[in-house]
Amino acid sequence: MIIESANWKYTMRRWTSFDPGRRGFLGAGLLAAGGAALSAGNASGQSAHGAGHPAPPSTGTTGKADHRAAHGAMITVGDVDNERNGFDPTAMLTDWDMGTVSTLPDGRTLRTFEVAAEDKEIEIAPGVMFPAWTFNGRVPGPALRAKEGERLRIVFRNNGSHPHSMHFHGIHAARMDGIPGAGLINPGEEFVYEFDAKPFGCHLYHCHALPLARHIHKGMYGLFVIDPDPARHPDQANVARSRLRGTPENAEWQELAMVMNAFDTTFDGENEFYACNTIAHCYAKKPIKILRDRPVRIYLVNVTEFDPINSFHLHANFFDYFDQGTTLTPTSKTVDLIVQCQAQRGILEFSFKDHEPGLYMFHAHQSEFTELGWMGMFDVVEVLS
């Protein structure tokens, strides 16, 4: 990895509170540049879902030559090969896996998902390879989305080289918990998790095999969103409809799936790269296009291993925050920074309708995380180009 700044090592020592040598920063880049990959794999990425539902604006280049100079041009040089990875962080923002729907004998909806564990080498920064363990060949895994009250069936196959499971943050029976004896399976085996979708909110799933830190850090996690059923919340039905995918009210929102994560490329228990949706500085290089007159909703989860907390800060604006996403009224109003411990998550809602068009930064408010990959831009526009 190359940094666009003269005397970068001296600059980083001045700008941040950490020693690049302690992180093995140069060692990680040289190791990757020399092609010293520790494992390899190959799989196709997760296909798009939610056909017929209007997608939020896509990410693209802005034509503004100076946007990469933000934070002193401390940004990775070059591009990650998304096609080789089998996933694109831009597509991940709106790629909701809605599963397949059928009807149970009692008339309820059954929503079925298929997920496979797989060993796979991925590129997390230009020239930096990481031997990941994945769900459906991507990190983070597919963003599963359902409706409150539906019956969920997740068919899990372990095509990897280690025992794995899926532990869902939700309400379910003990035998569906994804721990030893309750859904943790060996390579070549299959397990079917089945439970009702509750409570509504912004949740996550992750492997719960031991050692837990290794299985999570290697990439085995993903968003798990349950939309509220407006019929169950008559006093706030309009708000519930705005969150329910497929409704006209929901189509007004620009919804984004964001997973904060990090990577220890030297396997010393300390991270060398930080990101949102895996690829360092991906949204700094390709800012996320946002229509000024439509509100924004972010489903945000933190799965950063080896650091006690992560954070999200929005420049020049404020948002309402719904911790865990399990309420229809904000738990924090008019804030521009929230902190999440590992596995904490929530929903952010905001608008740029009173702003002039332009580039608006977002990032972790730990300077070290920002300089090492966790920083991006919203490109607020009047119309999509």
Cis before residue 199, ω within 30 degrees of 0? yes
Q: Residue 384's pLDDT is what?
A: 81
Q: Residue 73's pLDDT is what?
A: 66
Residue 290, exposed/middle/buried by CB under 10 A (0-12, 13-18, 19+)?
buried
Distance CA 279, CA 88 (A): 9
Q: Residue 326's pLDDT is what?
A: 98
Average pLDDT, the chain: 86
Distance CA 56, CA 26 (A): 38
Q: Residue 11's pLDDT is what?
A: 35
Which tokens go with 85?
């990875």
The whole-model pTM stands at 0.84
CB 247 within 8 A of CB 163: no
Sites in the chain below the pLDDT cut of 70: 1-73
Instruction: Decide the pairing of beta strands 332-335 and 296-302.
Output: unpaired
Q: What is the H or E stretch that residue 339 is in?
A: strand 337-341
Q: What is the CATH number of domain 10-46+77-282?
A: 2.60.40.420
Q: Residue 68's pLDDT is what?
A: 62
The residue extents of the domains of the chain are 10-46+77-282
Q: What is the H or E stretch that residue 84 is in?
A: helix 82-85
Q: Residue 9's pLDDT is what?
A: 32
Q: Residue 289's pLDDT is what?
A: 98
Q: Residue 262's pLDDT is what?
A: 98
| DSSP characters over 18-38 | S-HHHHTHHHHHHHHHTT--S
